[in-house]
Amino acid sequence: MLFDWSNLHYLGITMKKLDPSSYPTGPGVYLMKDSAGLILYIGKAKNLRARLRTYFVPGGDGRAQIPLLMAKVVAIEVILTDTEKEALLLENNLIKQHRPRYNIDLRDDKTYVSVRLDPREEFPALQVVRLVHNDGALYFGPYASAGAIRQTLKEIYRIFPLRHSRIERCRLRGRPCLFHQIGQCSAPCHGKITVADYAHLVRGVVALLSGRDPEVLQLLGQRMTEAAATMNFEEAARLRDQIRAIERSVERQSVADLGGGDQDILGFKRDGGEVEVALLFVRQGKLLGKRSWSVEWRLDIDELISDFLRQYYGSGVIIPDQILLPEPLEDASLLADWLSELRGSKVQIATPKQGDKRRMVLLACRNAEDDKRQRGSKKEARVKVLDEIRQRFYLPELPRRIECFDISNIQGAHAVGSMAVLLEGEAAPKEYRRYKIKTVEGADDYASLTEVLRRRLERGQSEGNLPQMILIDGGKGQLGVLAAVVAEFGLGPSIGIAGIAKSRIVANVRGKAVEKSEERFFVPGRKNPISLRNGSPILYMLERLRDETHRFAITYHRKLRSKATLRSSLEDIPGVGPARRTALLKYFGSLKQIRAASLEELRALPGLPERLARQIHQALHSEK
């Protein structure tokens, strides 16, 4: 929802001169800040004066973290809005911008995907996507594993052979692709199926992905009977095989009759300052999957659930017809309106008291409790490994944040640096960073590494976000560079450093056969490397971090090379100068989109002659 931001009013109120009556009584957002001006917490309220007054009740208001929060707050900035919905939208934007420490942070290393199908296309296709948009297309999911859903789609293609690739690309071929030859594509690009027959396939796919298996089986059964009645036994046999494939491969767990539609069911388990949140995904009365988060939270559960719903459903995921909660929310109707606008259709937020829906909410809470227990045991194991790392590498403190750096280039071209991060022993992809080398020319890994480390530590010092350990991919030479840069910033006593060198191939004692040596770890002040036992948890954790850093660097390096190759390809096309390249980039948004554009899409670019559009399309597609 859009509204007039010019009507907002900003009020700064300091704690030292606090007068509860000075707060406005209207709706708005409040920002709590510390002495350095850093925003600690952002909240919204229908009545700012009443809401903020609860923070200053003598002895606190019973919430364990309020005294800890208020001990750091020295100023509160208030932003007035016209309505409570405007306050909700503004709060969302400000939390995304500032990411305050005391607001919920949904860190999750899992990748969830959805399946997209646009029924408005003449020949719709299935796409695996990571973000959901209100674009008129149909979305199914979410699914926890991209690999698993792609395997499921292979089975669907055998039953309903939709197209796999872009129509324009397929029509460039002289004959249908291999998928058509093995019966997994109906080849609409070459006229092998009519629009009406293809629409039958699409309806079957939609019903299947929506969980309406009986409807699909009934439809195929009717078509099989009709084919047999007209003595089209080959078609009848094909439909019979499709029915058997569905019954064999698409088996889902029916959990309850929740009144139709799709539901997300939330449960939680609170334990001191941590809360485990679990979300069950039920589609057409069938449990599709589960997702869980562990968050630090000592404020009201009402605030936690409200913040969770806004952050999760505002991140581009599928929004269901109904969201079931274990406890009622004060702003449930407001959130339901907001979610309805995001989804484009009505969304209901409910707190069931009895029946199947209540049973499912209790099931979600039991899942949260079990996830909490499992996560706790894993966390204890990770802390134990981190403590072993501290001892083996002579670190000044427990390495709760470990960063690893790597440099990638080919003969000095497109040199890049990468940083992967472990937080509490777990990979933290949101903390990863890529560095395009700016000051070094040619293949000089040491100079490139120096630049990357300086940029990282300079920013880390300014933001107060430094690691307890830095691991470098390399031996003594790279470690020397790391030690020099850390000393340059005066961080030697507080940051432990080490280098990990790849294993070597060495001769055995007889000098004939060869053996692979163990990974070697170098630390300052020690001549011989540290060797870790093969299969040890320490070695496994640090090797995975090194490999992740290397993968991240290689991926970025390939991306830059691909961009440079395409840019070079554009430069080689007669008639495409700097102005044309700029216009193409502005119109399509990226170099990748230019390469993927069809001839019709290129023709649509204002001011691009027909002849030049054909030249660009032919030049870019002839490289594939």
Instruction: Print the domain residue range for 514.
Output: 401-556
Residue 608 DSSP code: -
Does residue 391 fall inside a structural domain? Answer: no
Does residue 599 fall inside a structural domain? Answer: yes
Both 54 and 152 in one domain: the answer is: no
Both 276 and 422 in one domain: the answer is: no
Both 461 and 549 in one domain: the answer is: yes
Distance CA 98, CA 5 (A): 18
Both 368 and 274 in one domain: the answer is: yes
Both 444 and 484 in one domain: the answer is: yes
Both 186 and 250 in one domain: the answer is: yes
Both 231 and 156 in one domain: the answer is: yes
Query: What single string gives the DSSP state of each residue in 501-563?
Result: EPP-EEE-TTSSSEEEPPPEEE-TT-SSPEE--TT-HHHHHHHHHHHHHHHHHHHHHHHHHHH
Four-residue CA torsion sign, 600, 601, 602, 605: positive
Distance CA 437, CA 294 (A): 37
Both 405 and 545 in one domain: the answer is: yes
Cα dihedral 116, 119, 124, 128 in deg (nearest 10): 0
What is the rounded radius of gyration, in angstroms, for the C-alpha atoms of the chain? 29
CATH number at residue 495: 3.30.420.340
What was the pLDDT predicted at 399? 94
Element (H, E) at 452: helix 445-463
User: Which residue, among 451, 304, 450, 270, has the nearest Cα to 372 in the 3D structure?
Assistant: 270
Cα dihedral 46, 47, 52, 56 in deg (nearest 10): -130
What was the pLDDT predicted at 255? 54
For 334-347, letters b (16+ CB in 10 Å) and e give bbbbbbeeebeeeb
Pick out the chain residues at pLDDT < 50: 1-17, 60-62, 109, 249-254, 412, 624
Pull the structure tokens for residue 465. 């976000």
Does residue 525 fall inside a structural domain? Answer: yes
Distance CA 502, CA 521 (A): 9
Q: Kindly list the distances between the CA atom of residue 44 and the CA atoms of 8, 19, 334, 474, 492, in Å, as whole numbers in the listed order.
A: 14, 19, 12, 49, 43
Strand segments (E) across 162-285:
253-254, 262-271, 274-283
What was the pLDDT predicted at 413? 56
Does residue 395 fall inside a structural domain? Answer: no
What was the pLDDT predicted at 248? 59
Does residue 565 fall inside a structural domain? Answer: no
Both 477 and 552 in one domain: the answer is: yes
Distance CA 36, CA 27 (A): 27
Domain count, the chain: 5
Does residue 163 fall inside a structural domain? Answer: yes
Angle, in degrees to the nearest 10, between helices 610-621 and 537-571:
140
Both 234 and 271 in one domain: the answer is: no
What does the angle CA 482 – CA 487 – CA 490 come to, to the nearest 5 degrees? 135
CATH number at residue 601: 1.10.150.20
CB atoms within 10 A of CB 45: 22
Does residue 313 fall inside a structural domain? Answer: no
Both 448 and 492 in one domain: the answer is: yes
Both 611 and 530 in one domain: the answer is: no
Does residue 315 fall inside a structural domain? Answer: no
Q: Kindly list the distances between the CA atom of residue 221 and the CA atoms of 7, 102, 239, 320, in Å, as whole numbers in the listed order.
A: 61, 57, 8, 30
